[in-house]
Amino acid sequence: MADDTQRRIAEFIEPLRVTPGSKVTLAKDFDPGYKADFVKKKDGLEFLQRGVELMTEYQARLAAQDTYGVLVVIQALDAAGKDGTIRHVMSGVNPQGVFVHSFKVPSAEEINHDYLWRYTRDLPGRGEIGIFNRSHYEEVLVVRVHPENLTRQRLPKEARGRDVWKRRYRDINDWERHLADNGFKIVKLLLNLSQEEQRIRFLRRIDLPDHNWKFSAADAHERTYWSDYQKAFSEMLTATSTEWAPWYVIPADHKWFARICASAVIANALIEIDPHFPRVTAEAHKALEATKVELEAQAPKGAAPDPFASAAVPAAAEPRDAPQKTGKKTRKKAAKAAKKAKKAAEAEKKERERVEQADRLAGRETEKETLREDEREARTVERETEAGGEVAGKGAH
């Protein structure tokens, strides 16, 4: 069943994947209005919920295993739905294990470092999912469309040559490969919005009072650079879709479908990692069994010692007098285990107190030795002062 689910998800997202090594022309190769034939809008919520449930399950495993991390990169033009995608797709995951970072205009401190520095600081740890709402790819998109931003980075002359973008593609690929080699899965999503749909969404932000805060005249001005952005996106996809970190172009004209696609790509990445809950050692398992027996012994009269274990045994299969015999046996065994556990705890407590006492004594001895050393130094200084005074007195006579 799990293999079948993975296969179907992989087939669903394959048309969105940018084949590593291929040359991409975004407007020609990926349709912003694409919708899969077998998914209807009325079923969209159900599909999205399945994706969220899968991510919730695998995120729990990812956090428990604490070996791999996931970095989700989301790039898009304004009004493509980045925030809404994050909000809907990550709605069911544990917020303690997911971190979202939105990168704005670089600060003075960030400009004082190399261009990847600020992104490195906010990478997820093992067991975590980090989301970059805009990312290091701004350095080959916005900075390329607006070269004055490159000037503000105060790069040396030799670093601003005509091959600056090729070198940045190489830097990014090498950096992402380093992350992948160290156990961090990189999921890259480009929300691909059409120019007409962006115009409609901007008008919506202007016309609806509760959406006014989302609109900026600067966003509308950026539309004059549409062709430049399309070229920058195309070259970025061509140069940086790799085997270890491929790009997925998400058709963003239909928000409901874009969210399904994004959840499917992220879920597929987690399935590929296939994290598992850690297995306890034999020694830890014995400790669990001893604790279980002790807890069973604390069951009130008439209550099942272990409701979960009791539910697993069919009542019809038990002899009529089994509960009484099992109860006595369990209590006797539990009492013995509890006594043994108590002795072990007391011994551990005594050992801890002994160590603490030894540490305190050692600390006192160190303190006394320090005081003695201080006293010796003080006496030495006093003698030297007295000797100096006598010499001075003789000189005066």
Same domain, 174 and 286: no
- CA distances, 176 to each of 12, 102, 240, 300, 338 (Å): 25, 19, 10, 57, 53
Whether 265 is covered by a domain: the verdict is yes
The SS3 assignment for 285 reads helix
Biggest CA-to-CA distance, the chain = 117
Measured in degrees and rounded to the nearest 5, phi and psi for residue 131 equal -120, 125
The last residue of one of the domains, among 273, 301, 324, is: 273
Q: Name the pTM for this structure.
A: 0.75
Q: Which residues pair with residue 177 across a beta bridge?
A: none
- CA distances, 361 to each of 120, 153, 351, 352 (Å): 46, 58, 15, 14
Same domain, 161 and 71: yes
pLDDT score for 328: 58
Same domain, 259 and 298: no
| Residue 312: how many other CB atoms lie within 10 Å | 8
Same domain, 246 and 324: no
Whether 388 is covered by a domain: the verdict is no
Residue 232 sits in a domain whose CATH number is: 3.40.50.300
- CA distances, 312 to each of 90, 204, 295, 318, 320 (Å): 35, 57, 18, 12, 17
Whether 395 is covered by a domain: the verdict is no
Whether 87 is covered by a domain: the verdict is yes
Percent of the chain with pLDDT over 70: 78
Q: Evaluate if residue 325 carries a pLDDT over 50.
A: no
pLDDT score for 284: 87
359 vs 306: which has the higher pLDDT: 306
Whether 393 is covered by a domain: the verdict is no
Spatial neighbors of 248 by CB under 8 A, at least 6 apart, are 13, 16, 17, 18, 187, 188, 189, 190, 261, 265
Same domain, 122 and 205: yes
Same domain, 94 and 125: yes
How far is Cα 392 from Cα 385, in angstroms, rounded to an integer?
Answer: 11
Whether 74 is covered by a domain: the verdict is yes
How far is Cα 99 from Cα 131, in angstroms, rounded to an integer?
Answer: 6
Q: Which residues pair with residue 131 across a beta bridge?
A: 72, 100
Cβ contact 198:78 at 8 Å: yes
**Angle CA(356)–CA(358)–CA(359) in degrees, nearest 5?**
65
Q: Evaluate if residue 363 carries a pLDDT over 70.
A: no
Same domain, 265 and 306: no
Q: What is the rounded average pLDDT for all residues in the chain?
A: 86
Same domain, 28 and 132: yes
How far is Cα 102 from Cα 277, in angstroms, rounded to an integer?
Answer: 31
Q: Model confidence at 324, in pLDDT bands (50, 70, 90)?
A: very low
- Locate 219 and state its tokens: 């966003």
DSSP for 55-113, please give it.
HHHHHHHHHHH-S-EEEEEEEE-TTS-HHHHHHHHTTTS-GGGEEEEE--SPPHHHHTS
Structural domain boundaries enclosing 89: 2-273
Q: For residue range 85-141, what is the model confidence (pLDDT) as tens digits? A: 999 999 888 888 999 999 999 999 999 999 999 999 999 999 999 999 999 999 999
Q: Evaluate if residue 390 carries a pLDDT over 80.
A: no
Average pLDDT over residues 15-27: 98
The last residue of one of the domains, among 273, 291, 308, is: 273
Q: Which residues pair with residue 76 across a beta bridge?
A: 191
Q: How many structural domains compose the chain?
A: 2
Cβ contact 71:245 at 8 Å: no
pLDDT score for 391: 42
Same domain, 172 and 307: no
Whether 103 is covered by a domain: the verdict is yes
Same domain, 300 and 259: no
- Locate 387 and state its tokens: 């000797």
Q: Quick one: CA torsion of 130, 132, 136, 139, rounded to 10 degrees?
A: -170
Q: Which residues pair with residue 17 across a beta bridge?
A: 248
The last residue of one of the domains, among 273, 296, 323, is: 273
Same domain, 128 and 78: yes
Q: Evaluate if residue 273 carries a pLDDT over 70.
A: yes
Q: For residue range 206-262, what is the model confidence (pLDDT) as tens digits? A: 999 999 999 999 989 999 999 999 999 999 999 999 999 999 999 999 999 999 999
Q: Model confidence at 43, in pLDDT bands (50, 70, 90)?
A: confident
Ranges 156-165, 227-236, 360-369, most confident? 227-236
Cβ contact 30:249 at 8 Å: yes
Same domain, 291 and 267: no
Average pLDDT over residues 173-179: 98
Whether 396 is covered by a domain: the verdict is no
